């Protein structure tokens, strides 16, 4: 187990529909290698997520309603000059070389287009919104950063509700994990995103230290509300934000553990040995003659309920053998 950890690695990557992942260190979102792992030993492959499908239970009742039922990722693998189509599911990993690719997560990635006041596109593409554990129905949170915006850099913190609705308390929640009534709510900030400082930032958090909220004419911070296809104009000549559509993303774990097969063999051996040690009795038997009398004794190592029976069997055999010296006794 230790050797496997030393020489293996575990990495994670989020991949939006249409994107390709090439197996190299820079392409991982996070990567935990073993101490002796050498990056040159990464298998040379690429995978492309063609599409991601999921289905959730809308027939069940009670707390089973809305539970996931299927997750399927349509993947094309490019390895050693070959293109292979795969269907990646939760219990069906893709194995390429010595590497395993496991589907561990998924979610939505709304596609935004941000334009400045002149109509120049300053951002276009999907933004991964992570499903929040405490939110129902895949309520997801994400951050859209637009460093190329003019006149100020823009940052948006958004919440996506795939099926927006009101709960009993009148709060806006997502009722179901599929896109039956998609709705994105965002707050907007302007200023300096802090991307030039050289300090790495998480793409899922907005560092608003050097930013101020974008306000409307009355001085209140604005809230953008978007449905797919809608465009919202930002005040103060900052431009516009359009929600083009909503893509899916999948999250995969990519792992390599060279000692896995050995572990299996050893654990099975362990189990067999355990069974033997518990259920195979070990006994010693003695036979002592004392003139015409024969004594049979048996000693078991620890608990053995049948030791007396074994001694008696041996005594019976000897008895039989003594009475019938010509005919050999059964067994030995």
Partner 1 sequence: MDVNIELATWSNLLIYSAMAVYAIAFITYAFDLFGGRTLKSAVRQRQSAQELAASSRVRRTTRRTGSVAVLEDDDPRSGSPADRHGEEAGNADPSTGRSRRLARVGTSLTTLALVLHAAAVATRALSVMRGPWGNMMEYALTTSALAVILYLAALKYRDLRYLGTFVSGAVLVTLGLCITVFYTPAAQLVPALQNYWIYIHVPIAILSTALLSISAALAAFQIIKAATEQRTTPRWLRFMDRVPSSENIEQVSYRIAAVGFITWTFTLIAGAIWAELAWGRYWGWDTKEIWTFVVWVVYAAYLHARATRGWGPTRVAVLNLTGFASVVFNFAVVNIYFSGLHSYSGV
Binding residues for partner 1 (CB under 8 A)? 1, 10, 55, 57, 59-64, 67-71, 89-93, 100, 102, 104, 253-255, 257, 260, 263-264, 267-268, 270-271, 274-275, 278-279, 295-305, 307-308, 311-312, 315, 319
For 46, other C-beta atoms within 10 Å of its C-beta total 16
Minimum CB distance to partner 1 smaller for 22 or for 268: 268
Minimum CB distance to partner 1 smaller for 69 or for 225: 69
Minimum CB distance to partner 1 smaller for 228 or for 281: 281
CB of 27: closest distance to partner 1 in angstroms? 17
CB of 100: closest distance to partner 1 in angstroms? 6
Q: If you count them, how many residues does the chain have?
A: 332
CB of 247: closest distance to partner 1 in angstroms? 20
CB of 288: closest distance to partner 1 in angstroms? 10
Minimum CB distance to partner 1 smaller for 166 or for 271: 271
Write the CA distances from 310 to 2, 278, 300, 317, integer angstroms: 46, 18, 10, 11
CB 145 within 8 A of CB 129: no
CB 112 within 8 A of CB 241: yes
- Paired sense of beta strands 293-300 and 283-290, if any: antiparallel
Nearest to 122 by CA among 170, 154, 156, 95: 154
CB of 28: closest distance to partner 1 in angstroms? 14
Minimum CB distance to partner 1 smaller for 323 or for 327: 323
Minimum CB distance to partner 1 smaller for 35 or for 61: 61
CB of 101: closest distance to partner 1 in angstroms? 8
Please give the Cα distance from 120 to 76 (Å, whole number): 35
Q: Phi/psi at 276 (nearest 5 deg)? A: -60, -45
Nearest to 214 by CA among 114, 107, 86: 114
């Amino acid at each position: 187990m230790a050797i496997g950890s030393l020489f293996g690695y575990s990495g994670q990557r989020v991949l939006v529909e249409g994107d390709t992942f090439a197996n190299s260190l820079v392409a991982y979102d996070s990567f935990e290698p073993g101490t002796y792992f050498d990056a040159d030993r990464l298998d040379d492959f690429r995978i492309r997520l063609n599409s991601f499908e999921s289905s959730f239970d809308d027939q069940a009742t009670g707390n089973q309603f809305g539970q996931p039922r299927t997750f399927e990722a349509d993947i094309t693998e490019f390895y050693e000059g070959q293109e292979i189509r795969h269907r990646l599911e939760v219990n069906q990993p893709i194995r390429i070389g010595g590497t395993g690719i496991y589907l561990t997560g998924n979610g939505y990635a709304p596609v935004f287009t941000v334009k400045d006041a002149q109509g120049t596109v300053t951002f276009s593409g999907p933004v991964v919104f992570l499903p929040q554990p405490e939110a129902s129905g895949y309520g997801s949170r994400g951050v859209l950063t637009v460093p190329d915006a003019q006149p100020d850099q823009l940052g948006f913190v958004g919440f996506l509700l795939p099926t927006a609705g009101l709960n009993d308390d009148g709060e806006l929640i997502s009722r179901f994990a599929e896109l039956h009534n998609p709705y994105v709510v965002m707050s907007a900030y302007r200023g300096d995103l802090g991307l030039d400082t050289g300090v790495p930032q998480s793409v899922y958090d907005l560092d608003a230290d050097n930013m101020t909220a974008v306000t409307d004419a009355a001085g209140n911070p604005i809230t953008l509300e978007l449905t797919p296809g809608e465009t919202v104009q930002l005040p103060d000549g900052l431009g516009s934000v359009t929600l083009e559509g909503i893509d899916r993303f999948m999250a995969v774990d990519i792992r390599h553990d060279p000692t896995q097969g050995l572990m299996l063999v050893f654990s099975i051996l362990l189990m067999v040995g355990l069974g033997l040690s518990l259920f195979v009795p070990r006994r010693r038997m003695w036979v002592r003659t004392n003139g015409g009398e024969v004594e049979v004794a048996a000693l078991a190592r620890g608990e053995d309920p049948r030791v007396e029976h074994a001694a008696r069997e041996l005594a019976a055999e000897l008895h039989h053998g003594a009475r019938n010296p010509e005919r050999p006794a059964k067994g030995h």
